[in-house]
Structure 1
Amino acid sequence: MEGNINQQLLGEVTVADQVSFKDKLWSETKKLWILATPAICTRVSTYGLYVITQAFVGHIGYTELAAYSFVYTVILRFANGILLGMSSALGTLCGQSYGAKQYHMLGVYLQRSWIVMFVASIFLLPLFIFTTPILKLLGQSDSMAYIGGEVGRWLISTLFAFIVSFTCQMYLQSQSKNMIITYLAAVTIVIHIFLSWLLTLKYKLGISGAMLSTVFAFWIPNIGQLIYVMCGGCRDTWKGFSLLAFKDLWCCFECARTVWFTGDFFGVITCRFCNLGEFMGRSVVFSFQMMEAPTAKGEKRAMDSTEDVTERSSYFLCINRLHHREGVRLKNDTGGCSSHEQE
């Protein structure tokens, strides 16, 4: 190639092309808050449902307040941590499929997660059915144990509401469709306050009225999200119900189990009774995903060659098996990359 060796190949940078650090910081901050604000509002709204219910239960009596607080803190939060940890795997799978332009697989993964988390919820049901004996075993009074058993039976519907809520949020957030979640959360707070006042204070329905309002508050956004997903809000990623949802369920379960175990198990065991378990679990899951984030570039490597990796990479082994037939290219920390033709 002829020419001066000192010639600038990219051309000169003009003053107009230079952006100050302040402008860059402001631009990135705006982008961050555009994505983070809906998620923050959703989390605050979800936690606000518990606080509002607890406030109205406090008007009923001290025993009712103690029973609701105990069942919510110990039993419901334990189930919440397990299901939320399992749904984190769906966020990873949907994000990778969306980035690889395998849009149809997002709907399939969503349906698979419904099946896997429904089975997991069945195993959690005894905690809510036998709440009264559990509270008595823990040394609580008979009156508190009886009211706690009533609260536990009401929260069974909330347990299954977690399945739709967590999975639809992960599914929509992977496509940057966050505002619909925020709108539904805001409407739910208003409805919950009104129903709690109407059923608890005005009509004096007691603990049943407060819990009935809570059930409505959890299912209203779920119904709204399902309508949005299935009625045209996600045309590229939702292609209707498919029999593929029943395929490779065991690999999907292994992936969800690994995420929950690494991300929330230790929080459940060590900090659940002081309400720090969820924070620790979310932090570990986030750190794990950031450190092990897969990329779409790298050398080709056969799937079988990854079987000798260490235990800490088993999470991405599960994902590799799930993507084996969809042609999604993944790379874990061992430097390997898998690429398969879609069947």
Structure 2
Amino acid sequence: KRTMDEHRDSDSAPPSPTRFRRTRSLVPVGYKTEIKELAKLAGPVMIAQLMSFAVSFVSTVFCGHLGRTELAGVSLAIAVSNVTGVSIGVGLASACDTLISQTYGSGNLKKVGVILQRAVLILLLACFPCWAILINTKSILLAVRQEPEVASLAQLYVKIFMPALPAAFMFSLLSRYLQNQVSVLQVL
């Protein structure tokens, strides 16, 4: 049996040079350059996404200071507007990722513009069914047995959010449009 001192000494021994060689063989050559390039592309996109999520976060924090009912109302409203509104626009705009990147890569910039115009039209038309659901938020929440006061507050928040839905759709589409052309700083 080894004593504790012997065990500690063997664990603190410096690693062998062959161990470093094995580790170096796993790391690709030029990885530092790749990390820098990736950070240049991903950094602005990450900041833009954090800022868009901050809107809901700030609303929730402020309403949380007002009371439990207000917090419940805004939380439900954000969930409803994200599920029945924003996620639909983001999903439709995501379809343009493949189309725009392939068309831009082929050098057909005129077709990229046509894809963007069609996507704008489709997203703006998609606002109407989303609005139809959002207008009835209170009725839907009451049907699933939410408290009437919470449902009323959620409906108020959703009504205030509804005019921003086309803007949220366009932000999602235009940020993808720019990202697929490697113009990420304009997203900020």
Which TM bucket (shorter chain)? 0.7 to 0.9
The secondary structure found in structure 1 opposite 2:146 is: coil
Alignment partner, residue 41 of structure 2: 35
Instruction: Provide the aligned length of Structure 1 versus Structure 2.
Output: 163
Alignment partner, residue 169 of structure 1: 175
Q: Where does structure 2 lack aligned partners over 5 or more consecutive residues?
A: 1-24
Distance (whole Å) between structure 1 residues aligned to residue 154 and residue 184 of structure 2: 35
Alignment partner, residue 50 of structure 2: 44
Distance (whole Å) between structure 2 residues aligned to residue 94 and residue 107 of structure 1: 9
User: Cα offset for 1:23?
Assistant: 5.2
Query: Which of 120, 123, 130 does residue 129 from structure 2 map onto?
Result: 123
Alignment partner, residue 88 of structure 2: 82
Query: Which of 38, 59, 68 does residue 65 from structure 2 map onto?
Result: 59
Q: Is the 8 A contact 2:59 2:74 kept in 1?
A: no
The secondary structure found in structure 2 opposite 1:59 is: helix
Correspondence 1:191-270 to 2 at 5 A: none
Distance (whole Å) between structure 1 residues aligned to residue 43 and residue 84 of structure 2: 27
Q: Is 2:102 the partner of 1:103?
A: no
Distance (whole Å) between structure 2 residues aligned to residue 74 and residue 133 of structure 1: 12
Q: Is the 8 A contact 2:84 2:130 kept in 1?
A: no
User: Cα offset for 1:77?
Assistant: 3.0
Q: Is the 8 A contact 1:128 1:155 kept in 2?
A: no
Q: Which AA in structure 1 matches 2:64?
A: G
Distance (whole Å) between structure 1 residues aligned to residue 28 and residue 178 of structure 2: 32
The secondary structure found in structure 2 opposite 1:140 is: coil
Q: Where does structure 1 lack aligned partners over 5 or more consecutive residues?
A: 1-19, 183-343
Distance (whole Å) between structure 2 residues aligned to residue 60 and residue 104 of structure 1: 52
**Identity rate of aligned residues, in percent?**
27
Distance (whole Å) between structure 1 residues aligned to residue 36 and residue 134 of structure 2: 43
Q: TM-score, normalised by structure 1?
A: 0.45
Query: Which of 166, 179, 185 does residue 185 from structure 2 map onto?
Result: 179
Distance (whole Å) between structure 2 residues aligned to residue 74 and residue 156 of structure 1: 11
CA offset digits 1:170-222 (Å, max 9, x no partner) = 1111111111212xxxxxxxxxxxxxxxxxxxxxxxxxxxxxxxxxxxxxxxx
Query: Which of 119, 123, 126 does residue 113 from structure 1 map onto?
Result: 119
User: Cα offset for 1:96?
Assistant: 1.1
Distance (whole Å) between structure 2 residues aligned to residue 167 and residue 46 of structure 1: 14
User: Cα offset for 1:149?
Assistant: 1.1
Q: Which AA in structure 2 matches 1:87?
A: A
Q: Which AA in structure 2 matches 1:96?
A: Q
Q: Which AA in structure 2 matches 1:169?
A: S
Distance (whole Å) between structure 1 residues aligned to residue 147 and residue 28 of structure 2: 61
Which structure has the bigger radius of gyration?
2
The secondary structure found in structure 1 opposite 2:181 is: coil
User: Cα offset for 1:74?
Assistant: 3.2
Alignment partner, residue 135 of structure 1: 141
Query: Which of 136, 157, 175 does residue 163 from structure 2 map onto?
Result: 157
CA offset digits 1:40-68 (Å, max 9, x no partner) = 11111111111011111222222111111
Alignment partner, residue 7 of structure 2: none
User: Cα offset for 1:75?
Assistant: 3.6
Distance (whole Å) between structure 2 residues aligned to residue 77 and residue 157 of structure 1: 16
CA offset digits 1:24-44 (Å, max 9, x no partner) = 111111111111111111111
CA RMSD of aligned residues (A): 1.7
